Each structure stands twice: as C-alpha cells, then as structure tokens.
Amino acid sequence: ARPGARNISAENFAERMKDLENVATGFDGVEKAYAISAGREVRVFVQPKSVDDLSAIKMARDIATKIESTMQYPGTIKVNVIRETRAIEFAK
C-alpha cells in the first residue's frame, strides 16, 4: 500500500457521513441527524410538536428517496426517524 492511501479514504468517509447528516437536516422539523454504523444508518431526531406520527413516516421515506437520488453509496442505508416527548418530574 502506498503511503497516505488510507488518508484519502478517511476523508471521503468523513465527507460522506457529513453529507448524509446534511441531507436529513434539510427537512423541516428536524432537530438533529446522526450518521452511525459506518454510514449504514441515519438517525433523525424531529420536533414532536411540528412533526406528527404520520409525517414522521413520510419524512423517513422522503429522506431515503433524497439520499437515493443525490448520493453514491454501497449497500443500503437505514433511515430512522425518532419522534419522542419526554416528561420529567421530581418527587420531593
């Protein structure tokens, strides 16, 4: 192997991860998006007040479609849209 050959791959990998996250965060109601499992999965956290359950399902499909049309990638990428509400109280 030539010196520096893996460095280019690492740069491409980091750029691809960033691109995956940027595609997901381009949608309305998205708080954060994380590319995990070496880019095989994207977890998208949405605002529960602005995205209902049916919209979350549609958003997952839309994000997957946009990834298919705009990016080159090996294998499949799982798009996981997470919508959760947390209620925390303390008993004293």
Residue 77 near residue 67, CB atoms below 8 Å: yes
The predicted pLDDT at position 7 comes to 65
**23's tokens:** 């595609």
The predicted pLDDT at position 76 comes to 93
The SS3 call for residue 82 is strand
Q: Return the domain boundaries, the chain.
A: 5-83
Kindly tell me if the per-residue pLDDT of 6 is higher than 70.
no
Fold classification of 5-83 is GMP Synthetase; Chain A, domain 3 (3.30.300)
**62's tokens:** 């839309």
Residue 40 near residue 80, CB atoms below 8 Å: no
pLDDT tens by residue, 36-82: 998 899 999 999 999 999 999 999 999 999 999 999 888 899 999 99
